[in-house]
């Protein structure tokens, strides 16, 4: 049995406390009206404002109507920036919230695949995977509440939730048969319930299999895993449209669902590897050997490349054809989010490919921890890139709100995952493949 | 110096593996082992050095990547930077996404083919090469271990008979 070390528990509480403080600070310092925005902008850009000022002084002949028009434009600009800055702490929270929830969903998908594929190597890791997916119910509740808050107009992340916007936007209005709050929130509820139901019953059957004297629970798990995977791939795709793509309601992409999937799937696998390495280093996983770690590292490597393939396919198809209504998505990201946009490719592709291509490196703990850290950070940045441009646009910055949100959810994640790991033995007893898995050697 | 070798023939891969381990423990030098199919762990039991073919492939892949990059840069950017459908041919990076499929395929092409050719050269395989089969049965269902004879021949023969060989032959090699 695993015991949650008090050090780690304290660490997770500190992360949550610091995160909460930072999140609160982010909300308190968000500007409340356009006067504050004006001050922020003036403080941000002395040079450019000075220039603008002298120019208007020079042109006395500017007609009154033009002046009023300029004034109106200025106010409009300030309102725009105000919305972005007010969205910023919400978006920071949203990115971290969805990232950790989907990470544990990615682990759940990997776990289901291992069950259905009757993999002979992974049963010794099933309890680790179940520990990580224990975050899913917690994360789902927080995430669902967040979506409800969006629907109650506490924030302005999803612009199609704003009836004002829809009334003046034909493109969004035409999509309102799909993008309307009741349908959207019901879909979210169904998806989250479905995933959590699979997680709950799969865990329950796995524990029951330990006590049973035949394989009926194992077979049950096989069947529900197969059904879950079918449900998952459909809901995952729709989820990516609902929760991420609809932040840019004027844009659409067909392979977006797969792209999002690859991103959180590789994060989930990386997290399995990281938790396994941690538990192994504490001496809790005696049956896990370097071959298991090696296999996880191969999955990290392979799915990283898969993510890159989808990233590039999506980017290159749109870049090549350069259709105005599609390309704006990437124009925004390249011009305003240049470093995070291309930095994500370096972190999620170049770095893991060069590090994890070597067979020996895939067995060295510190190399894997380093590669895993970069992959996880890289996929956080990936979600940042998907979400932020649609909500805060040019006002993005990785500051207190963003870091604090990640710290809060990381602390919560550590607390939930490692608490769950204490609740069951780390080795499934009567899994039909457990002997093979114990002696797995590559 | 005599050119005699012993052919110890086995009909089971488990027995062969045991024999190889015993032979190594007795410090007899194994010249070669012939098997009809890959026997897992045989290379480790024989103490063979790991292959470096993967390292070669990686370097070949880098060559292919460089070649693809150089080729597209020379043709599309340096030599004749035409405007083809509005694609930006001002610098390589401007038009890079269009070249990535070529760069990727060149990398794979070079890595795969040069690695295969390296394999053929290192294992001395080519058409019309004379087969080096010491016993035709080794391609079907028998395993053969070839050990050089140094010193006492009878002792060696009885050693290999003790390892479960179905047949032990002493052969004069040219």
pLDDT digits (tens, 9 = 90+) for A265-305: 999 999 999 999 999 999 999 999 999 999 999 999 999 99
Q: Do residues B169 and B42 touch, judged by C-beta distance below 8 A?
A: no
* Domain assignment present for A301: yes
**What is the structure's pLDDT at A384?**
96
The mean per-residue pLDDT over the stretch A53-59 comes to: 46
* B54, B58, B97 ranked by CB distance to A315: nearest: B97
The string of pLDDT tens digits covering residues B131-173 is 988 899 999 999 999 998 887 888 888 888 888 889 999 988 7
- pLDDT tens digits, residue range B99-132? 999 999 999 999 999 999 999 999 999 999 999 8
Contact across the interface for B97 and A357, Cβ inside 8 Å? no
- Evaluate if pTM is beyond 0.80: yes
Range of the domain at A91: 6-30+84-425
Rounded CA separation A405/A390 (Å)? 19
A contact test, residue of B97, B102, B103, B104 with most A CBs within 10 A: B97
Number of domains in chain A: 1
DSSP of B47-66, one letter per residue? TPPPP-HHHHHHHHHHHHHH
The residue of A319, A360, A363 whose CB has the most chain B CBs within 10 angstroms, and thus the best one to mutate to test that interface, is A319
Give burial (CB, 10 Å; 0-12/13-18/19+) of A3.
Answer: exposed
From the number of C-beta atoms within 10 Å of its C-beta (0-12, 13-18, 19+), residue A194 rates as: middle
- Arithmetic mean of pLDDT, A3-25: 95
Integer Cα distance of A408 and A403 in angstroms: 9
Helix (H) / strand (E) element for A212: namely none
Residue A44 in domain: no
User: For residues A404 and A18, is the Cβ–Cβ distance under 8 A?
Assistant: yes
- Of the candidates B12, B5, B3, the one whose C-alpha atom is nearest the C-alpha of residue B165 is B12
Is A11 within 8 Å of chain B by CB? Answer: no
Q: What is the DSSP letter of B76?
A: I
The verdict on residue A22 lying in a domain is: yes
Report, in this order, helix, strand and coil percent for chain B, each rounded to 5.
Answer: 50, 15, 35
Model pLDDT for residues A81-133, shown as the tens digit of each residue:
888 888 999 999 999 999 999 999 999 999 999 999 999 999 999 999 999 99
- Structure-token match 């002979």, residue found: A120
With an 8 Å Cβ cutoff, is A316 touching chain B? yes
Chain centre distance of CA A265: 10
Closest by CA to A89, choosing from A13, A14, A154, A159, is: A154
In A117-255, which ranges are continuous DSSP H helix?
A: 126-133, 135-151, 163-168, 170-174, 181-211, 216-243
Look at residue A52 in the predicted model and tell me its pLDDT.
Answer: 44
Determine contact: A342 vs chain B, CB below 8 A: no
In a domain, A343, yes or no: yes
Q: Is residue A95 part of a domain?
A: yes
Asked whether residue A442 is domain-assigned, the answer is: no
Report whether pLDDT(A436) > 70. yes
**How far apart, in Å, are the Cα atoms of A350 and each of A212, A342, A345, A346, A365?**
47, 11, 7, 5, 20
Please state, rounded to an integer, the average pLDDT across all residues of chain A.
Answer: 92
B35-92 confidence digits (pLDDT tens): 999 999 899 999 999 999 999 999 999 999 999 999 999 999 999 999 999 999 999 9
Query: What does the alpha-carbon distance between residue A223 and residue A215 come to, in Å, rounded to a whole number?
Result: 13
> What is the value of ipTM here, to two decimals?
0.90
Confidence at residue A51, expressed as pLDDT on a 0 to 100 scale: 44
Task: From chain B, pick out residues whose CB is under 8 angstroms from the CB of A349.
Answer: none
Question: CA of B50 to nearest chain A CA: how many angstroms apart?
Answer: 12
Does residue A342 lie within any of the structural domains? yes
**Is residue A438 domain-resident?**
no
pLDDT of residue A61: 57
């Amino acid at each position: 049995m695993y015991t949650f070390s008090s050090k780690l528990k304290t660490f997770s509480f500190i992360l949550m406390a610091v995160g909460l403080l930072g999140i609160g600070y982010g909300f308190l310092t968000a500007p409340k009206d356009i006067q504050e925005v004006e001050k922020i902008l003036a403080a941000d850009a002395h040079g450019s404002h000075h220039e603008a000022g002298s120019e208007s002084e020079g042109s006395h002949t500017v007609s009154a109507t033009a002046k009023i028009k300029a004034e109106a434009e200025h106010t409009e600009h300030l309102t725009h920036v105000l919305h972005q800055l007010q969205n910023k702490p919400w978006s920071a929270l949203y990115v971290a919230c969805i990232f950790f929830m989907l990470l544990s969903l990615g682990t759940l998908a990997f776990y289901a695949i291992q069950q259905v594929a009757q993999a002979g190597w992974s049963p010794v890791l099933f309890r680790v995977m179940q520990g990580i997916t224990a975050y899913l119910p917690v994360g789902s509740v927080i995430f669902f509440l967040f979506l409800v808050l969006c629907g109650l107009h506490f924030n302005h992340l999803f612009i199609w939730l704003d009836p004002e916007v829809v009334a003046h936007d034909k493109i969004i209005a035409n999509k309102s048969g799909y993008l309307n709050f009741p349908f959207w929130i019901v879909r979210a509820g169904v998806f989250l319930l479905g995933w959590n139901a699979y997680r709950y019953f799969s865990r329950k059957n796995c524990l029951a299999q330990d006590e049973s004297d035949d394989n009926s629970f194992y077979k049950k798990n096989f069947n529900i895993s197969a059904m879950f995977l079918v449900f998952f791939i459909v809901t995952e795709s729709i989820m990516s449209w609902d929760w991420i793509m609809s932040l840019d309601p004027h844009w659409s992409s067909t392979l977006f669902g797969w792209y999002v999937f690859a991103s959180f799937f590789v994060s989930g696998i990386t997290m399995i590897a990281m938790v396994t390495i941690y538990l192994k280093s504490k001496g809790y996983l005696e049956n896990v050997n370097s071959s298991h770690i090696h296999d996880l590292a191969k999955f990290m490597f392979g799915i990283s490349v898969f993510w890159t393939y989808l990233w590039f396919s999506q980017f290159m198809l749109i870049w090549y054809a350069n259709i105005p209504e599609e390309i704006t998505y990437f124009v925004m990201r390249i011009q305003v989010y240049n470093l995070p946009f291309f930095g994500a490719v370096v972190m999620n592709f170049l770095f893991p490919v060069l590090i994890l291509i070597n067979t020996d490196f895939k067995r060295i703990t510190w190399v894997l921890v380093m590669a895993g850290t970069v992959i996880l950070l890289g996929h956080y940045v990936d979600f940042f890139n998907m979400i932020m441009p649609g909500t805060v646009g040019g006002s993005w910055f990785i500051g207190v709100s963003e870091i604090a949100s990640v710290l809060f959810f990381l602390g919560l994640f550590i607390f939930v995952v490692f608490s769950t790991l204490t609740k069951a033995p780390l080795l499934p007893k009567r899994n039909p493949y457990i002997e093979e898995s114990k002696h797995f050697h590559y | 110096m005599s050119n005699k070798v012993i052919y110890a023939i086995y009909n089971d891969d488990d027995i062969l593996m045991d024999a190889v381990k015993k032979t190594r423990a007795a410090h007899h030098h194994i010249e070669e082992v012939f098997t009809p199919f890959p026997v897992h762990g045989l290379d480790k039991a024989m103490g063979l050095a790991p292959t470096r073919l993967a390292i070669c492939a990686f370097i070949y892949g880098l060559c292919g990547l460089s070649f693809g990059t150089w080729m597209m840069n020379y043709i599309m950017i340096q030599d004749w930077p035409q405007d083809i459908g509005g694609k930006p041919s001002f610098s390589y990076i401007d038009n890079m996404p269009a070249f990535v499929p070529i760069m990727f395929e060149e990398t794979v092409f070079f890595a795969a083919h040069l690695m295969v050719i390296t394999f053929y050269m290192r294992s001395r395989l080519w058409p019309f090469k004379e087969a080096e089969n010491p016993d035709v049965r080794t391609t079907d269902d028998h395993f053969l271990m070839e050990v050089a004879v140094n010193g006492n021949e009878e002792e060696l023969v009885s050693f290999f008979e003790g390892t479960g060989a179905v047949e032990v032959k002493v052969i004069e090699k040219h």
